[in-house]
Amino acid sequence: MVIATLLWSIAGIVTRHLESVASFEATFWRSFFNAVALVVLLGWLRGLRPLGRSLIDGGAVLWLSGLCWAVMFTAFMVAITMTTVANVLITMAIAPLLTALLARIALGHFLPLRTWVAILFAGLGIAWMYAHELGVADARNVVGTLVALFVPIAAAVNWTAIQKSGRGGGDMLPAVLIGAVLSSVVTLLPALPFQATAHDLGWLALLGVAQLAIPCLIAVAAARRLAAPEAALLSLLEIVFGVSWTWLGAGESPGQHVLAGGALVVGAMVANEALALRSRIRVGALPQA
């Protein structure tokens, strides 16, 4: 899982080294290369015919999940080309809390007090960041931060839909392929005419393969061995890695308002997931009747 978060985190630093592509073209090529890599990898792991059957027989939930992945792929890349990497990653960090809140509404899941407190503090952190962005003159930065909000919303809808359908333990990896294809199709026309150089295409191919396709496979395998709190805690490393890469490699240092808001968001997440993991360990240690 640590390797997966490390690979996910390179998106910001790689994007900052692109030469001539705009938001939608960068999104198109990243999703396109991701789709190609997933077809090759899943075809190698399972065979092309079983992969095709899983896409045909997957049903509405698989395709809804694919749509959510498409929103996540598209919104992330558009946002990261419009605002800072720190803004995007910290906004994305609220996904587990949004998921818990949506699961409470749609599935009737019980939320412990610690999660309500974490939602409150994470909300304050995001509000602090957004208030500062709205107070500055750079409209592009504001829009990019708002676009990033679609990523955790789509992630929450995705998880809730899968749980509601009873397919939480089922094979939903083909949905990632559907998302990549849908994202590249939706962004194709806005991406025209193509302006990417060979240098840009090389970086975008790296993003599609090494930053999306491979870590998605790794994360799915790791998730089968990890408890949800463990996976959520480890996924927060993407923020640390991602902000560090762009800080060291592109000179993009986060502002004080981002650090303050991010500290509230990440602190709330760490406290909530650490307490959940501690509770799970304590329950597991109790003697069985």
Residue 112 φ then ψ, to 5°: -70, 165
The stretch 145-169 carries a mean pLDDT of: 85
pLDDT-derived band of residue 197, with 50, 70 and 90 as boundaries? very high
- Report d(CA 170, CA 23) in Å as an integer: 34
Three-state helix/strand/coil letters over the chain? CHHHHHHHCCHHHHHCCCCCCCHHHHHHHHHHHHHHHHHHHHHHHHCHHHHHHHHHHCHHHHHHHHHHHHHHHHHHHHHHCCCCHHHHHHHHCCHHHHHHHHHHHHCCCCCCHHHHHHHHHHHHHHHHHHHHHHCCCCHHHHHHHHHHCHHHHHHHHHHHHHHHHCCCCCCCCHHHHHHHHHHHHHHHHHHCCCCCCHHHHHHHHHHHHHHHHHHHHHHHHHHCCCCHHHHHHHHCHHHHHHHHHHHHHHCCCCCHHHHHHHHHHHHHHHHHHHHHHHHHHHHHHCCCC
Mean pLDDT of 70-85: 93
Question: What is the rounded CA–CA span in Å between residue 45 and residue 51?
Answer: 9
Q: Report which listed range, 47-51, 132-136, 162-166, is most confident.
A: 47-51
Handedness of CA 17, 19, 25, 29 (dihedral sign): negative
Domain ranges of the chain: 2-283
Q: Is the pLDDT of residue 192 over 50?
A: yes
The mean pLDDT of 265-287, rounded to a whole number, is 75
- Best CA proximity match to 213, nearest among 1, 7, 2, 3: 7
Q: What is the pLDDT of residues 167-177, one digit of tens each?
A: 665 677 888 99
pLDDT, position 284: 61
Question: Minimum mean pLDDT among 109-118, 155-164, 186-195, 230-239: which range?
Answer: 230-239
Q: Return the higher-pLDDT residue of 38 and 120.
A: 38
State how far Cα 39 lies from the chain centre: 20
Task: State the pLDDT at residue 289.
Answer: 44
Worst-scoring range by mean pLDDT, 29-43, 56-70, 197-211, 270-284?
A: 270-284
Share of the chain above pLDDT 70, in %: 93
Confidence band (pLDDT; 50, 70, 90) for 46? confident
Give exposure, 233-268, as e/b (b: 16+ Cβ within 10 Å). Answer: bbbbbbbebbbebbbeeeebebeebbeebbebbbeb
Indicate whether 88 pLDDT > 60: yes
Q: How confident is the model at residue 112 (pLDDT cuts 50, 70, 90)?
A: confident
Percent of the chain exceeding pLDDT 90 equals 35
Mean pLDDT across the chain: 85
Return the number of other C-beta atoms located less than 10 Å from residue 2's C-beta.
Answer: 12
Rank 34-38, 51-55, 114-118 by mean pLDDT and report only the highest: 34-38
Alpha-carbon span 229 to 115, nearest angstrom = 12
- Average pLDDT estimate for 82-111: 86
Distance of CA 105 to the CA centre of its chain: 22
For 246-255, what is the mean pLDDT? 83
Distance in angstroms (rounded) separating the CA atoms of residues 226 and 160: 19
The amino acid present at 190, given as its one-letter code, is: P
Least confident of 52-61, 221-230, 253-262, 267-276: 221-230
Q: Picking from 1-10, 94-103, 190-199, which range would have the lowest pLDDT averaged per residue? A: 94-103
